[in-house]
Amino acid sequence: MTTAPTTLGQRELALRERASQVIPGGMYGHMRVTDFSGAHPQFMVSGNGCRVTDADGREYLDLMCGWGPVVLGHRHPGVTKAILDQLEHGDCLDGTSPVAVDYAELLVDTVPSADWAMFCKNGTDATTTCVTIARAATGKRKVLVAAGAYHGAVPWCSLRGQGVTAEDQTHLIRYEYNDLLSAERAAAEAGDDLAAIIVCPMRHDVRRDQELADPAFAHGLRALADRTGAVLILDDVRCGHRLHLGGSWEPLGVRPDLSAWSKALANGQPLGAVTGIDALRDAVSSVYVTGSFWYAAVPLAAGLATLRELRNGQALPDMLRTGTRLREGLAAQAAAHGYEIRQTGPVQMPVLYFAGDDDLSLGTAWAEAAVRRGVYLHPWHNWFLSAAHTDADIDAILDRTDQAFADLRDTGS
Amino acid sequence: MTTAPTTLGQRELALRERASQVIPGGMYGHMRVTDFSGAHPQFMVSGNGCRVTDADGREYLDLMCGWGPVVLGHRHPGVTKAILDQLEHGDCLDGTSPVAVDYAELLVDTVPSADWAMFCKNGTDATTTCVTIARAATGKRKVLVAAGAYHGAVPWCSLRGQGVTAEDQTHLIRYEYNDLLSAERAAAEAGDDLAAIIVCPMRHDVRRDQELADPAFAHGLRALADRTGAVLILDDVRCGHRLHLGGSWEPLGVRPDLSAWSKALANGQPLGAVTGIDALRDAVSSVYVTGSFWYAAVPLAAGLATLRELRNGQALPDMLRTGTRLREGLAAQAAAHGYEIRQTGPVQMPVLYFAGDDDLSLGTAWAEAAVRRGVYLHPWHNWFLSAAHTDADIDAILDRTDQAFADLRDTGS
């Protein structure tokens, strides 16, 4: 048995013990590593570019990028400078910082479907605000949602039953992603009470292959919204500003009425946004949505710096190139080691499954081997590339994933 | 007419014009100044201690403190150092920073009703998580909520109808704050389906006098929860860590099962928290609540630094002393100028109304005069003191509010 050259470190174990006393289950939410791995560290102390370091000083090549937010790399100098400069003036003031206007202008200039923008903290804030605006605009209640799609972790959209009442989701009607007929049936079920259709730019549900949007499906949803008067909401929280700066459906030529953004906006600073079309301005002004920190200047300054860097730089084409290099390398390695794998979704947001691995045990063992070899990746949530990943970094990652495939083979899996 | 020695500045006006193009209504939420004033600047560029500066370079003595979060003063050196130190290592990593454990331990050590803690971004995240945990723990649905109480700005607890469906609030049953009989009636209405009672430590609804909790009411809610098996949730988002470090009902000897925290936790960094009792650990682990930035290290480091400062320093007694000085000074000024006013709630979270001012026009005119004289305060939302306010700052504030009363008198109001 050679698959575990390292086990969890002493500081990691000590932190887990302390956490178990003061945090239920030792951690919560998507970052509770015991839900997906026996080998991933729960605790991280630093990040730099495409590398992160755990509490025991072990460095990992990072394929999660903070689970999405880090699009330019950890501690990107330009974004860090914007953060430090803004901190010298102020952050949480009594009024909005002018940087909110600068950033809203740049978003509107960047996103063709955006005539305006507003800002919040979580992706869930953004999706919830979109639904609220759509209901206020239409005076209707029903919202079409793809079955299994993640739009946040609050009762109205929760995928878990615990703590959720039936009424929280009474007005949701489910359709199947990439199945336009199912959406049209759902719209028919809503009758004259249809407020909105919410959709992710691709199917990125966890524990299954990712699925790009069929262009006919995307155009069909747009036409369905136009025909029914429903508001088309694009949940670009996970994909936004990693695939296309104008919005993830721009390459398809399909423009939403509202878009929800978060994750990559500010390279890790806490920020969400809603953008939308002129026709919805009055509805926005009629709803009351707010938060104590929604106006704070530092995350907005980071968002502005991030978007300027993304617009001026090579970040998006770079991620496309390095993501392709990673995908091709993994495919070759799997074949060489005699494993059949599936890699799906955009190369900048990869995920890898093993054929026939219904219980994900093989994928989990491989991900655990990878993390022991120094590559931080996930067995069943998509990964994220950043602009900090160079070709050399991808090659270093591939060296280690090759070892991980070998480790897997050595265990006889 | 001498009440307007200054009007809105040129940069403010230019920013408003730009904002009107790219942000619906020019702004949203509680920071949309046009909802409460014709004189308050919408835009702020910096803060230092208890002073903030607008886009035209005008400095104000700050009585809003970022609408609550800033409890130690803007750019507090100790908190700023913690932010900068953490930024040098990393913020939004793949795992949790060890500072989350340090901070959870200190919260549990500080708050007698807390056996554990978990972290989020918004106050609304914290209240929503509390309700979700309570429903998961009890398997029941009904939640007792005080009529008119603010617990966040999302559909389940929204005080506005726009974009909200009846089903969002189906399982809320209203009681009257400080009216135990009304809460008992509400509990009876819930029957055997009562999950939780949520309550703020005081009545701080906007546009009306604040009201401290009657001790018999607080103890009565505790007994009602015990008798029915409901979870008692204290929404300490607005008051928490400004009135009493152990929780705002510690002085009453009433301990909640769950507490929602945010605002003052991290002196302006975006952070919320839920704390609770051991019996609810399993329920916490059973629900799925999360957010992309909930694990970010910088706000947690700021929270830790803030709580250490609050524990070791004189911040709370200082705010009690300066708040009393402010209240007594305002009372004397009003009397001297021939105005009858009401000042209610704790002195650290003041609010001031004029007698007979049902439409709040007099209060608004006075608040506008105050802001023109260089004191930033609000006509109908409670203000906030910080530990950065010295006696001399309070005296400087009182000099200006005295002028504001004189301005009001000069207009013949």
**What CATH number is attached to the domain comprising B177?**
3.40.640.10
Q: Which of A247, A266, A294 is the endpoint of a domain?
A: A294
Which residue in chain B is spatially nearest to A134 when comparing CA positions?
B163
| B18 and B150 both lie in a single domain | no
| Residue A87 resides in a domain | no
> What pLDDT score does B313 carry?
83
Q: Do A66 and B92 touch (CB under 8 A)?
A: yes
Looking at the predicted structure, is the pLDDT value of residue A413 above 80?
Answer: no
| Residue A211 resides in a domain | yes
Which residue in chain B is spatially nearest to A18 when comparing CA positions?
B101
> What pLDDT score does A201 carry?
98
Please write the tens of the pLDDT for every residue from A100-117: 999 999 999 999 999 999
> Cα–Cα distance between B331 and B343 in angstroms, integer?
8
Tokens of A341: 């794998």
Which residues does chain A have within 8 Å of residue B258's beta carbon, measured at their own beta carbons? none
Please write the tens of the pLDDT for every residue from A207-255: 999 999 999 999 999 999 999 999 999 999 999 999 999 999 999 999 9
Q: Which of A217, A197, A220 is nearest to A144 (CA)?
A: A197
Please write the tens of the pLDDT for every residue from B39-49: 999 999 999 99
Q: Do A122 and B293 touch (CB under 8 A)?
A: yes
Q: Do B132 and A163 touch (CB under 8 A)?
A: yes
| A278 and A332 both lie in a single domain | no
Task: Write phi, then psi, for A400 (nearest 5 degrees).
Answer: -80, -35
> Cα–Cα distance between A14 and B314 in angstroms, integer?
34
Looking at the predicted structure, is the pLDDT value of residue B4 above 50?
Answer: no
The C-alpha of B338 sits at a distance from chain A's nearest C-alpha, in angstroms, of: 30
| B102 and B240 both lie in a single domain | yes
| Residue A32 resides in a domain | yes
Question: Binning pLDDT at 50, 70 and 90, where does residue A1 land?
Answer: very low
Question: Binning pLDDT at 50, 70 and 90, where does residue B1 land?
Answer: very low
> What pLDDT score does B2 carry?
41
> What pLDDT score does B3 carry?
42
Question: Binning pLDDT at 50, 70 and 90, where does residue A6 land?
Answer: low
How far CA A262 is from CA of A127, A238, A315, B12, in Å, comes to: 10, 7, 18, 28
Tokens of A400: 């280690």
| Residue A61 resides in a domain | yes
Please write the tens of the pLDDT for every residue from B350-375: 999 999 999 999 999 999 999 999 99
The C-alpha of B143 sits at a distance from chain A's nearest C-alpha, in angstroms, of: 12
Looking at the predicted structure, is the pLDDT value of residue B64 above 80?
Answer: yes
Q: Do A108 and B64 touch (CB under 8 A)?
A: no
Q: How many CB pairs under 8 A join A and B?
A: 366
Q: Do A101 and B23 touch (CB under 8 A)?
A: yes
Amino acid, single-letter form, for residue B202: M
Which residues does chain B have within 8 Å of residue A107's beta carbon, measured at their own beta carbons? 22
Looking at the predicted structure, is the pLDDT value of residue A4 above 70?
Answer: no
Q: Do B168 and A156 touch (CB under 8 A)?
A: yes
| A47 and A117 both lie in a single domain | no
Nearest by CB to B25, which of A18, A42, A284? A284
DSSP state of B3: S
| A240 and A188 both lie in a single domain | yes
Which residues does chain A have within 8 Å of residue B80's beta carbon, measured at their own beta carbons? 87
| B287 and B322 both lie in a single domain | no
Q: Which of A131, A70, A173, A101 is nearest to A260 (CA)?
A: A131
Please write the tens of the pLDDT for every residue from B182-211: 999 999 999 999 999 999 999 999 999 999
Q: Do B292 and A122 touch (CB under 8 A)?
A: yes
Q: Do A162 and B132 touch (CB under 8 A)?
A: yes
Q: Do A52 and B90 touch (CB under 8 A)?
A: yes
Q: Which of A124, A91, A94, A126 is nearest to A107 (CA)?
A: A126
Which residues does chain B have within 8 Å of residue A370's beta carbon, measured at their own beta carbons? none
User: In this structure, are residues B195 and B166 in contact, taking their beta carbons and an 8 Å threshold?
Assistant: no
User: In this structure, are residues B158 and B168 in contact, taking their beta carbons and an 8 Å threshold?
Assistant: yes
ipTM: 0.97
- Best probe of the B interface among A22, A50, A70, A141, by most B CBs < 10 A, is A22
Q: Which of B353, B201, B175, B186 is nearest to B263 (CA)?
A: B201
Q: Which of A241, A260, A294 is the endpoint of a domain?
A: A294
| A171 and A225 both lie in a single domain | yes
Which residue in chain A is spatially nearest to B122 when comparing CA positions?
A291
| Residue B159 resides in a domain | yes
| B268 and B345 both lie in a single domain | no
Which residues does chain B have within 8 Å of residue A27's beta carbon, measured at their own beta carbons? 96
Q: Do B45 and A89 touch (CB under 8 A)?
A: yes
Which residues does chain B have within 8 Å of residue A68's beta carbon, measured at their own beta carbons? 292
- Tell me the mean pLDDT in the region A245-266: 98
Which residue in chain B is spatially nearest to A42 when comparing CA positions?
B95
Q: Which of A102, A290, A98, A88 is nearest to B44 (CA)?
A: A98
Which residues does chain A have within 8 Å of residue B56's beta carbon, measured at their own beta carbons? none
Please write the tens of the pLDDT for every residue from B102-152: 999 999 999 999 999 999 999 999 999 999 999 999 999 999 999 999 999
- Tell me the mean pLDDT in the region A165-193: 98
Nearest by CB to B294, which of A29, A95, A107? A29
Looking at the predicted structure, is the pLDDT value of residue A412 above 80?
Answer: no
Looking at the predicted structure, is the pLDDT value of residue B406 above 80?
Answer: yes
| B152 and B252 both lie in a single domain | yes
Looking at the predicted structure, is the pLDDT value of residue A20 above 90?
Answer: yes
Q: Do A29 and B288 touch (CB under 8 A)?
A: yes
| Residue B160 resides in a domain | yes
**What CATH number is attached to the domain comprising B355?**
3.90.1150.10
| A61 and A102 both lie in a single domain | no
Which residues does chain A have within 8 Å of residue B136's beta carbon, measured at their own beta carbons? 162-163
The C-alpha of A182 sits at a distance from chain B's nearest C-alpha, in angstroms, of: 25
Q: Do B22 and A283 touch (CB under 8 A)?
A: no
> What pLDDT score does A57 carry?
98
Domain span at A363: 10-74+314-410
Q: Do B23 and A289 touch (CB under 8 A)?
A: no
Nearest by CB to A22, which of B75, B90, B108? B108
| Residue B304 resides in a domain | no
Please write the tens of the pLDDT for every residue from B291-343: 999 999 999 999 999 999 999 989 999 999 999 999 999 999 999 999 999 99
The C-alpha of B135 sits at a distance from chain A's nearest C-alpha, in angstroms, of: 5
Q: Do B48 and A90 touch (CB under 8 A)?
A: yes
Q: Do A97 and B45 touch (CB under 8 A)?
A: yes
Please write the tens of the pLDDT for every residue from B196-253: 999 999 999 999 999 999 999 999 999 999 999 999 999 999 999 999 999 999 999 9
| Residue B343 resides in a domain | yes
Which residue in chain B is spatially nearest to A65 when comparing CA positions?
B94
| A332 and A203 both lie in a single domain | no
Question: Binning pLDDT at 50, 70 and 90, where does residue B6 land?
Answer: low
Q: Which of A125, A179, A172 is nearest to A152 (CA)?
A: A125
The C-alpha of B411 sits at a distance from chain A's nearest C-alpha, in angstroms, of: 27
Nearest by CB to B163, which of A54, A122, A133? A133
Buried-exposed string A322-347: b where 16+ CB fall within 10 A, e elsewhere: bbebbbebbeebbeeeebebebbbbb
| A164 and A60 both lie in a single domain | no
- Best probe of the A interface among B31, B84, B263, B292, by most A CBs < 10 A, is B292
Look at chain B and report how many structural domains it folds into. 2
- Best probe of the B interface among A158, A288, A378, by most B CBs < 10 A, is A288
Q: Which of A68, A73, A61 is nearest to A30 (CA)?
A: A68
